[in-house]
Amino acid sequence: MAELNPFKIAQTQLNEAAQILGLDKATHELLKWPMREYRYLLPVKMDTGETRIFHAYRVQYNAARGPTKGGLRWHPDETIDTVRALAAWMTWKTAVVNIPLGGGKGGVTCNPKEMTESEKERLARAYIRAAAPVLAVDRDVPAPDVYTTPQIMAWMMDEYETIVGHKHPGVITGKPIPLGGSQGRGDATARGGVYCVREAARAKEMDATKMSHAVQGFGNAGQFAALLHCEILGGGKLLAVSDSGGGVYSKSGIDPEKAVHHKRETGRVAGLPGTEPISNEDLLELDVDVLYPAALENAVTADNAANIKARIMCELANGPTTPEADKILFENGVFVLPDFLANAGGVTVSYFEQVQNTANYYWPLEDIHVQLDRRMTTAFHDVHTMSTKEKCHMRLAAYLVSVSRVAEACKLRGWC
């Protein structure tokens, strides 16, 4: 369906903010489109001896506030429009947490679940050979995303350094710690989201220590959200988790550590002892205090938004809610923490990684957590203040904060 095209959704969300901000036509048009985008064909020899051709992308959406920054996704349904949308959201994400970066994104259309480690390495190196001319620590910096890992980032960094002939660790973030990665990067996306949930609970005068929660999507961010929710908030009960193969539910609560262990041992959450099956669709509609959508785009639409019963919805996934659903959720009193605020912890710690790589001085984990908490808390209150002032939902408020910052940088540069 056309309305579920992620880039059309991103543009629709921008248009609403632009109208309220009164952006002039040139600035609005500049922010509606990527400033640069690249497409690559990557020939990769597979273990069978055959050569497969992979379609790949890199979008540098806007660099007014600094070098573009954004993840690299490997997914069988990856498209240029998905990458454009994610690059746009990354532009607003870096602006809303007020770090000196622009927004970018990359993707490869592939199914890494069907690839061996050696095939993944050859694909990673092929991507960097193609994209290296447009990457640099002061130009565009990739990071891990869906189905890419610290090991894949390590291969990419090594290939880049081989090409340029010198050490350049800051050009790739999300690396293993022995190769210049940052402490705290693994759980940063979820941790930042839970910090936002904590602030939302305070704003809504809810007892954070007693909030039930459910996690839709049990990858890296979802698993850490399950683990960190009770730790950071001081209590709560995990009622359900799900992945692409279905979900599990327990009225008496699920031990998050056991759920994570089961997922890592079996590759899925289904069959977790002491639980009953639940579909992804039914999980989204559970009566919980906090819902964490942590899978892919368009999970909450006009078709199911009216059935969402959560008091707070913390979007750890990118683009899980359509514009039509946003209006319904707002009218029904669901407090949505929008993706490019709620999941900005990842890019924030990636920024910390760039800073540490450049200084060749590395921070202890406690400092990472303090700095992340400070930035996420400030960003939440910037957005919440705007939401209260404009009497609008949090996503629109986040757009008003971030778009105004990017527009200001564009104007100061004389671009519009």
Spatial CB neighbours of 166, under 8 Å, sequence gap ≥ 6: none
What token pair was written down for 105? Answer: 């994104």
Q: Is 327 a catalytic residue?
A: no
Q: At what angle do helices 345-359 and 80-96 cross, to 10 degrees?
A: 70
Burial 142-163 (b: 16+ CB within 10 A, else e): bbbbbbbbbebbbbbbbbbbee
The CA-CA-CA angle for residues 117, 123, 124, to 5°, reads: 90
Per-residue three-class SS string for the chain: CHHHCHHHHHHHHHHHHHHHHCCCHHHHHHHHCCCEEEEEEEEEECCCCCEEEEEEEEEEEECCCCCEEEEEEEECCCCHHHHHHHHHHHHHHHHHCCCCCEEEEEEEECCHHHCCHHHHHHHHHHHHHHHHHHCECCCEEEEECCCCCHHHHHHHHHHHHHHHCCCCHHHCCCCCHHHCCCCCCCCHHHHHHHHHHHHHHHHCCCCHHHCEEEEECCCHHHHHHHHHHHHHHCCCEEEEEEECCEEEECCCCCCHHHHHHHHHHHCCCCCCCCCEEECHHHHHCCCCCEEEECCCCCCECCCCHHHCCCCEEECCCCCCECHHHHHHHHHCCCEEECHHHHCCHHHHHHHHHHHHHHHCCCCCHHHHHHHHHHHHHHHHHHHHHHHHHHCCCHHHHHHHHHHHHHHHHHHHCCCC
Q: How many alpha carbons lie under 13 Å from residue 357 in its C-beta half-sphere? A: 27
| Separation between Cα atoms, residue 320 and residue 222, nearest integer Å | 14
Considering 25, 32, 45, 105, which one is annotated as catalytic?
Answer: 105
Active site (catalytic) residues: 105
